[in-house]
Structure 1
Amino acid sequence: MSDHQPVTPFEERLWAAHQDGQEALCLSLLRDADLALPITAAAAAGTEAPAWATVSDSERTWLLAYTSVEAMRLATGGVATHCRVISLVELAAGWPDLRWGLAINPGLTAFLLLESGTVARLAVPTLAQDLLLDPASGVPAVQKLLSPVDVNDLLTGGEPRISGYCHHALDVSHIATPAVLAQALGQPDMLTADGSLNILRWRPAGLDLYRTPYGGTDEESRAAVAGWVIEEPPFVGMGLVPNVDHVIREYKVYGVGLPHGAEIWELTSRGTEHRRAIYHGDLRRWLLIGTRAAR
């Protein structure tokens, strides 16, 4: 194998961990790494669309990635000179095929092979794992788009429970336009007649109830990612909303009770948010805010 001298602190730590046989440490280091994916000169110039660089063996197809541009050039003997730099979670959002694996630094000493399920779990940890990795961050807010009928059912249906998919609120906090948010989440039908969105937002209790949806669109793809759920396309199965242009973590729940302080917000077509109701856990009812109820 080619001998590559680490050029970044990340590579130095990865090389040392690999040399010591510390596989778990290698994987943890990759969690926040940026990887170089080879592309053609034409793709770099914008005259053709970037394509996945892969190799295949008797086991599967492997997507090629390197821990630095220098590593890529050395490992390929100078054949690959251009790349796109991408984080692991961005890679997971655009993952082309759950049956593929990820080959990191093939041709170099610190060479790693990851199955798609490993990529998914490194890139998109569960809510409970996120808190363990960064205890100071606290329990994050999650949210879910509501139709007008959903809002009415919550306000009038007694103790509120939620099933289906919700997403990490922080991942969409930069989106202030209802149509853009609905499109990013693949839910354009949630827009109201006046172009606004109703959003249920809360801080979850019982993080293990919020399961990261690793899986596929059939038994084969579910098994390929070692997942637990099967959904209709365009389901990704890597724990993210199916949108290659946005990295949005999502979670699946079954009849989870909403905690005290859960809120219903309206994001208007003007890009302003108004809180319409807040759930009072002791009173077991919603308190409406302002002069108009959530709609």
Structure 2
Amino acid sequence: MISVREWEPVSPFERNLAAAVAADDLALCLGMLRLAQFALPVSPAAAAGHEPVAWPTASDAEGTWILAYTSAEAMAATGVGGVTPHHRVVTLPELAAGWPDPRWGLAVNPGLPAHVRLRSGTVARLAVPTLTEERLASPGSGLPLMQKLLTPLDLYAYLAEGRSRVSGYCHNALDVAHIATPAVLADALGMADVAGVVTDEGSVNMLRWAAVGLNLYRTPYGGVDEEAMAAVGGWLVEEPPFTGLGLAPNVDQVIREYKVDGVGLPHGAEIWELTHAGTQIRRAVFDGDLERWLLVASPASSSGAVPA
């Protein structure tokens, strides 16, 4: 077994992280960890498929911590390698998507010079920054395309009653561009059990629009009760399966969520149907000048990818 004293960084990333920790440069540490990949220990039985993969944790006077390492060598240097040589590799957003308890924190490289501890609220904000923060980080990226699955009542309100505003949860269309099956899409967004979202024909209807006024799209940091909300430093309490870390409630997907309240739809917003065959058909376009929805006579269609 390698002793901690013998540990040496195996990459420029680990060297720079250790230097940032030594300099007490928290901002640099957080910026580096945001895009990092982590090795999480996996028991031999789980690696062999004989038991579920569990979260590796340790507890101390400050609470419970999920253990993560910046390399397999770093994991081995702490003695974990003597317990299990197996690990899985995850990103910070993947960690946040499956986060088991908002009261837990993340311990990166515990016991090593490049050791950083993050509370769940910090994990959430690094993994899922607000739309405004993302725009500031990439000023030339353009407005994000938002998407919301529609129930039959929603569809009626837009097309028959002329609704021109959107409320509730929506997500970034790019995060689900790879999903071409309606039932899989509904499940990925935690809406598989919502009546009518998947139609009798096996389709889903989707509202799409450009996010104008990014500060109106709030990242839903919070929890299922006041204690969980406080642990994340959030603002919202929702019933399960709400995760509170800014992602849809699906541990197998990384889909950013946002909550809006009566946001006006911009000119050119669209309603699309994703059929059971994986074909996307544009059904209606919102005319902001006329303030009404126009049905598409000869629907444009595409297969799989989110239209530009």
Residue of structure 2 in register with 1:30 after alignment: 33
The match for 1:54 among 52, 57, 79 is: 57
TM-fit CA distance, 1:78? 3.5
User: 2:227 is matched with which residue?
Assistant: 220
**Counterpart position of 1:123:** 127
TM-score (normalizing by structure 1): 0.95
Identity %: 62
Conserved 8 A contact 1:76-1:107: no
Alignment of 1:38-187 (within 5 A): 38-76=41-79, 78-79=81-82, 80-158=84-162, 160-187=164-191
Cα RMSD over matched residues? 1.5
On the 8 A contact 1:3/1:108 being kept in 2, the answer is no
2:305 aligns with none
Number of aligned pairs? 292
Cα contact 2:167–2:263 (8 A) shared by 1 = yes
**Which residue in the other structure is 2:199 paired with?**
192
Q: Which runs of 5+ in 1 are unaligned?
A: none
Query: Gapped runs of 5+ residues in structure 2?
Result: 300-308
Please report how far the alpha carbon of residue 110 of structure 1 lies from its aligned counterpart in structure 2 after TM superposition.
Answer: 1.2
CA offset at residue 82 of structure 1? 1.4
Task: Tell me the SS of whatever aligns to 1:195.
Answer: coil
TM-score under structure 2 normalisation?
0.91
Quote the offset at 1:158 in angstroms: 4.1
Secondary structure of the equivalent of 1:135? coil
Q: How many Å apart are 1:3 and its aligned residue?
A: 5.0
What are the within-5 Å matches in structure 2 for residues 229-244 of structure 1? 229-244=236-251
Q: Secondary structure of 2:211's match?
A: coil
Aligned position for 1:203: 210
Change beyond 3 A, Cα 1:182–1:77 = closer
Is 1:197–1:266's contact at 8 Å kept on the other side of the alignment? yes
2: CA distance, partners of 1:291 / 1:67:
53
Superposed displacement of residue 151, structure 1: 1.5
Q: Out of 272, 276, 281, which is 1:269 matched to? A: 276
C-alpha deviation, 1:49, in angstroms? 1.5
Please report how far the alpha carbon of residue 159 of structure 1 lies from its aligned counterpart in structure 2 after TM superposition: 5.5
Alignment of 1:280-291 (within 5 A): 280-290=287-297
Checking the alignment, whether the CA contact within 8 Å between 1:41 and 1:82 is kept in structure 2 is yes
